[in-house]
Amino acid sequence: MARVILGVGAGIAAYKACELLRLLTEAGHRVRVIPTADALRFVGEPTWAALSGEPVTTDVWSGVADVPHVRLGQTADLVLVAPATADVLARAAAGLAGDLLTAALLTARCPVLYAPAMHTEMWEHPATQHNVATLRERGAIVVEPATGRLTGPDSGKGRLPDPAELFALAESVLSSGTYADDSSPATFLSLAGKRVLISAGGTREEIDPVRFLGNWSTGRQGYAFARSAVSRGAGVTVVAANVELPDPAGAKIVRVVSARDMHAAMLQEAPAADVIVMTAAVADFRPVTRADQKIKKDGTGALPPPIELAENPDIVVALSARRREHGPASQVIVSFAAETDPDLEAARAKLARKGSDYQVMNLVGGGKAFGTADNEAVILATDGTVTPVPLRSKDALASVVWDLVTDRLA
């Protein structure tokens, strides 16, 4: 059971923090809610107290004998501020301690995670961006806000990420082996300052307006990599093919459909990436032609003409070639190989052919991997090392891979 401080800023998104609190407490964590005084205008103290089972105060004068403005931060395993308003970010960056929340932020030596929520103009203001950069430099995780409907008729970037995804991110932070007992929060973030590019999901190749060639990939493994990378301080972009999951908190999502769409998007995003992880299940072939109208039976029992196929470009090979030609040479590429009949020697040959630095060979089919919460794999590296990963959660598999990658980056 972890000790979590849930800070709540004065924004309309405070009502979503009630769901986040419920998820945290149902997972067995002890959660102390510390709202700002104005946050209680949106959600009252009785609600927070009833949901958390803990006292709720906003000032440093309640329970002085227990010295809460120091003890709460000192004893926390995680501080999660959601919503983190522009005002909270500014006061935290300035090191102010005028209320219980900002005092707890100053005394915390655990991971601190901010989930900003505000209008687009406030998020994009240079003052806010400066404050975010300052907090990140000090070792805090400040996730990118989501894009969508804001207060009133407005839409844009500044929406609080989905509470379930914030909960998953908090769990990733709490369970990550990168967080050691250290006096400096900055040492917790093994991917701080790095840009990560991840592919996820399964591509679709259209036959006609209603049919396609596809696969069973749901994108869960790729999104697990995204959450884990965000929890380690990375800036994350996900090229997602036909994924129907909630967006991972803090990640930029680029949506594509086909293998050629993904090929173009990955090559466009690759130059800025320090690490590329190719988890997507990409179609090897596509129909040469796409029918403009639905292909129908003619009532005679005659079959339609056979579908002629053409080979799709190999995205990992293209990314490796781009790295050789244009750099950076330090860029790390991780490929995935979904196999129904694993062959280690064949996997080594594929690793050499693809040109990636690591290849994650995972078993699929028969209810394995696709659409499940867990995965098992063997990770092959270009230096010849082999790392077996027994069946475990997809988040845990991602953590193993990130440990290998961060060692290589170091």
In a domain, 297, yes or no: no
Q: Does residue 177 sit in the same domain as residue 200?
A: no
Q: Does residue 258 sit in the same domain as residue 158?
A: no
In a domain, 190, yes or no: no
Q: Does residue 109 sit in the same domain as residue 258?
A: no
Q: Does residue 166 sit in the same domain as residue 313?
A: no
Q: What is the pLDDT of residues 166-203, one digit of tens each?
A: 999 999 999 874 344 444 444 468 899 999 999 999 99
Of 306, 301, 309, residue with least CA distance to 284: 309
- Which range marks the domain in which residue 72 is found? 3-183
Q: Does residue 235 sit in the same domain as residue 168?
A: no
Q: What is the pLDDT of residues 83-110, one digit of tens each?
A: 999 999 999 999 999 999 999 999 999 9
In a domain, 206, yes or no: yes
Q: Does residue 222 sit in the same domain as residue 102?
A: no
Of 185, 191, 269, residue with least CA distance to 226: 191
- pLDDT value of residue 186: 43
pTM exceeds 0.85: yes
**Sign, CA torsion 38/41/42/44:** positive
CATH number of the domain bearing residue 368 = 3.40.50.10300
For 389, the token pair is: 């990963």
How many domains, the chain?
A: 2
Number of other residues whose CB lies within 10 A of the CB of residue 153: 6
Q: pLDDT tens track of the chain, all 410 residues?
A: 899 999 999 999 999 999 999 999 999 999 999 999 999 999 999 999 999 999 999 987 777 666 667 888 999 999 999 999 999 999 999 999 999 999 999 999 999 999 999 999 999 999 999 999 999 999 999 999 999 988 888 889 999 999 999 999 999 999 874 344 444 444 468 899 999 999 999 999 999 999 999 999 999 999 999 999 999 999 999 999 999 999 999 999 999 999 999 999 999 999 999 999 999 999 999 999 999 999 988 888 888 889 999 999 999 999 999 999 999 999 999 999 988 777 888 889 999 999 999 999 987 767 777 878 889 999 999 999 999 999 999 999 999 999 999 999 98
Q: Does residue 307 sit in the same domain as residue 397?
A: yes
In a domain, 298, yes or no: no
For 369, residues 6+ apart whose C-beta sits below 8 A from its C-beta are: 221, 338, 362, 363, 375
Q: Is 215 a catalytic residue?
A: yes
Which of 135, 161, 183 lies at the terminal end of a domain, its last residue? 183
**Burial of 343: CB neighbours in 10 Å, binned 0-12, 13-18, 19+:** exposed
Number of other residues whose CB lies within 10 A of the CB of residue 211: 16
Which of 183, 208, 223 lies at the terminal end of a domain, its last residue? 183
Phi, psi of 158 (to 5 degrees): 145, 0
The one catalytic residue in 131, 215, 242, 362 is 215
